[in-house]
Amino acid sequence: MLAAFFGGWEIVLILAVVLILFGAKKLPELAKGLGTGIKEFKKATREVTDEIQNAGNESPAPKAPPANTTAQLQSQPQPQPKVPETKVI
């Protein structure tokens, strides 16, 4: 894409200006930082893309039945209430 806007001489001129501004010692550090930034950006985009694809492929979790239904409560034996004892004197 860059080659569509600039010819060979324009790119050489830009590189010469960058070399003059930053110096020969700083150029490797700048290139390393730029490379690290591009690598991190690609990693983040890949993770987001994978997350979106995995979210689309996951099936919804099955719904659990309710804990106590009326049919379950009726089928269980009911405890008998205690009748208070009365003593006759």
Question: Phi/psi class of residue 23: alpha, beta or left (left: φ > 0; alpha: ψ in -120 to 50)?
Answer: left
The model's pLDDT over 41-50, given as tens digits with 9 standing for 90+, comes to 999 999 999 9
What does the DSSP assignment read for 4-31? HH--HHHHHHHHHHHHHHH-TTHHHHHH
Higher pLDDT, 59 or 8: 8
Q: Which helix (H) or strand (E) holds 62?
A: none
Given the structure tokens 């080659």, which residue do they identify? 3
Judged against a pLDDT cut of 60, whether residue 32 lies above it is answered with yes
**Torsion on CA atoms 42, 44, 49, 51, rounded to nearest 10:** 150
What pLDDT digit, counting tens, does each position of 41-85 carry? 999 999 999 998 888 777 666 666 666 555 555 666 666 767 777
pTM of the model: 0.45
- What distance in Å separates the CA atoms of residue 11 and residue 3, rounded to the nearest whole number? 9
